[in-house]
Amino acid sequence: MSVPQKPSEFPSVPMPPARAHKARKPRLLKPTLYVHDYINLANVQKCLEDRRSDFVTIDSTTFSGELEIENRPYERFFVLERGHFTLFSHYHAPVKFSYKSRNAVMAHLWRDDVFTDMTSTKFVEVDGLWQLEQLPVLCFAFGQDADTLQSSYVIDDNTIHEYYESTATMDMADLAAVAQGKGDLCISHFFVVNCGREYWAVDTKDPSISYTFGPSTKTRTISRLADGSITVQALVDEELSQTSTDAHTSQSPKFTLRDINGEKVVEGDRFVLHIPGRGDDDDGCVKQTMFDEKDWVSVSYFTHLIPRREAMLSGSMDRGHTFGMAVVDDITYLTFEGQFVQIENQGRRPGIVIIPETPSKRNRIHLTYSDDGLIALSRWGAKEPIILEWIKSACGFFSVDDERCIDDSAKLRLIKV
């Protein structure tokens, strides 16, 4: 194998003379992949971009990419061949790529133009084929989620995908065996498993070691693992070291829930949750009249939004409901009338509901108490903020947001009653 060379100019073959056309180049809506009839698609590594691409089988004895592009001005398409795939464009000479970077090339073509990145340091030429310097990350996705997955993050580009059809088949040891069988097609020391909004980075050699994260930290987590700056075990240790000694976070067994005055809250105490920011004094302090012109956390029933008709937490201008707390296995939970406040993962954007059962790990709410007396809410372990959005200034909805940073988390004042 030849030594990878950094491109100084792309493409390396002479470019055809520019052609004058009056029509404007249309936006590429759906990539077309021509597949030679001797190619078995079952043996071609799956890519996320395949789900929004058209596959067309061609006769290998008669098809000519050069003639096809002449008949289709302003278009671009791929041809899947044995050992490589080729990009044909009306504006550039044909370019051969390694299958390792197929998803990345197709994603760039979808958003802009792959040639923009070819002249950067991201691509190298190995044995006459262009590929990204970094190998792709292997991702396992839940089959039911597949059609909703999109390359909305740059970190999704340099990936290859496999799909599992049931959470019952999501055995990390079995997935690790698949990862080991990929050889040099992808990064070998870890892989990623996705189910809805939850992600796991798994050590390929020891699948018992995994790190849970969410969409809001997806790019940073996978980037650090992919460039080798950290291992899965180091991520686990890093999180443990941050939470084990921090009495301000409910992920620590030393956590103590406190009210706005810093006083300890114990089981049996009753309290209301004030939403700061609207109706406060200029200095941000709570007014003396407790339920006057301020926003509070209430419990509502939105039966048209939640099929199972659970009670849902909401923001309200009316008098807030009273809540309690419970500690189960050293984990602190908010409660309402003896039931647990937790995340509802159904729907496009999860909300906060009241359910009798003790929350599972993926449904827990992470509480963080700050020195200013405010309590921030986020998803347990994944560092996804729970935010509060107001509808017509009258009703607020709590939801788990996968795009905002943790600093956008809803913050509440706990006031004993």
Tens of pLDDT along 43-96?
999 988 888 889 999 999 999 999 888 887 677 889 999 999 999 987 778 999
Which pLDDT score is estimated for 230? 94
Higher pLDDT: 315 or 173? It is 173
d(CA 85, CA 173): 32
Strand partners, 192: 139, 201
Which pLDDT score is estimated for 136? 94
Give the 3-state secondary structure of the chain.
Answer: CCCCECCCCCCCCCCCCCCCCCCCCCCCCCCEEEEECCCCHHHCCCCHHHHHCEEEEECCCCCCHHHHHHCCCCCEEEEEECCEEEEEECCEEEEEECHHHHHHHHHHHHHCCHHHHHCCCCEEEECCEEEECCCCEEEEEEHHHHHHCCCCCHHHCCEEEEEECCHHHCCHHHHHHHHHCCHHHCCCCEEEEEECCEEEEEECCCCCCEEEECHHHHHHHHHHHHCCCCCHHHHHHHHHHHHCCCCCECCCCCCCCECCCCCECCCCCCEEEEECCCCCCCCCCCCCCCCCCCEEEEEECCCCCCCCCCEEEEEECCCCCCEEEEEECCEEEEEECCEEEEEECCCCCCEEEEECCCCCHHHCEEEEECCCCEEEEEECCCCCEEEEEEECCCEEEEEECCCCCHHHCCEEEEEEC
Higher pLDDT: 36 or 69? It is 36
- With 0-12 / 13-18 / 19 or more C-beta atoms within 10 angstroms meaning exposed / middle / buried, residue 342 is buried
Which pLDDT score is estimated for 301? 72
Q: How confident is the model at residue 268 (pLDDT cuts 50, 70, 90)?
A: very high
Q: How far is CA 109 from the centre of its chain?
A: 22
Higher pLDDT: 10 or 33? It is 33
Q: How confident is the model at residue 148 (pLDDT cuts 50, 70, 90)?
A: low
Question: For the residues 89-111, what does the mean pLDDT come to?
Answer: 84
Which pLDDT score is estimated for 24? 41
Percent of the chain scoring above 70 in pLDDT: 74
d(CA 312, CA 34): 50
Minimum mean pLDDT range among 117-126, 200-209, 249-258 = 117-126
Q: How confident is the model at residue 150 (pLDDT cuts 50, 70, 90)?
A: low
Which pLDDT score is estimated for 57? 95
Tens of pLDDT along 308-339?
456 888 888 776 789 999 999 889 999 999 99
Percent of the chain scoring above 90 in pLDDT: 33
Look over the chain and give the mean of its residue pLDDT values, rounded to a whole number: 79
Residue pair 380/368 in contact (Cβ under 8 Å)? The answer is no
CA 108 vs CA 35, 113, 381: distances in Å:
20, 6, 32
Minimum mean pLDDT range among 11-15, 207-211, 294-298 = 11-15
pLDDT of residue 17 exceeding 50, the answer is no
* Rounded-to-10 torsion of CA 399, 402, 405, 409: 10
pLDDT of residue 6 exceeding 50, the answer is no
Tracing tokens 């390359």 back to the chain, one arrives at: 151
Q: How confident is the model at residue 156 (pLDDT cuts 50, 70, 90)?
A: confident
Which pLDDT score is estimated for 293? 46
Tokens describing residue 131: 């590929």
Q: How confident is the model at residue 407 (pLDDT cuts 50, 70, 90)?
A: low
Tokens describing residue 32: 């077309």
Q: Which residue type sits at 360?
A: S
Q: How confident is the model at residue 116 (pLDDT cuts 50, 70, 90)?
A: low
Nearest to 51 by CA among 144, 148, 136: 148
Question: For the residues 168-197, what does the mean pLDDT come to?
Answer: 91
Q: How confident is the model at residue 154 (pLDDT cuts 50, 70, 90)?
A: low
Minimum mean pLDDT range among 106-110, 199-203, 381-385 = 381-385
Which pLDDT score is estimated for 22? 39
Which pLDDT score is estimated for 35? 96
Tracing tokens 């990064």 back to the chain, one arrives at: 187
Nearest to 194 by CA among 407, 409, 382: 382
Residues in the chain: 417
Nearest to 116 by CA among 102, 104, 98: 104
d(CA 180, CA 363): 32
d(CA 20, CA 163): 45
Which pLDDT score is estimated for 285? 43
pLDDT of residue 167 exceeding 70, the answer is yes
pLDDT of residue 282 exceeding 50, the answer is no
Residue pair 16/93 in contact (Cβ under 8 Å)? The answer is yes
Q: How confident is the model at residue 178 (pLDDT cuts 50, 70, 90)?
A: very high
d(CA 266, CA 332): 10
Tens of pLDDT along 184-226?
999 999 999 988 778 899 999 999 999 988 777 788 899 999 9
Tokens describing residue 372: 């200013």
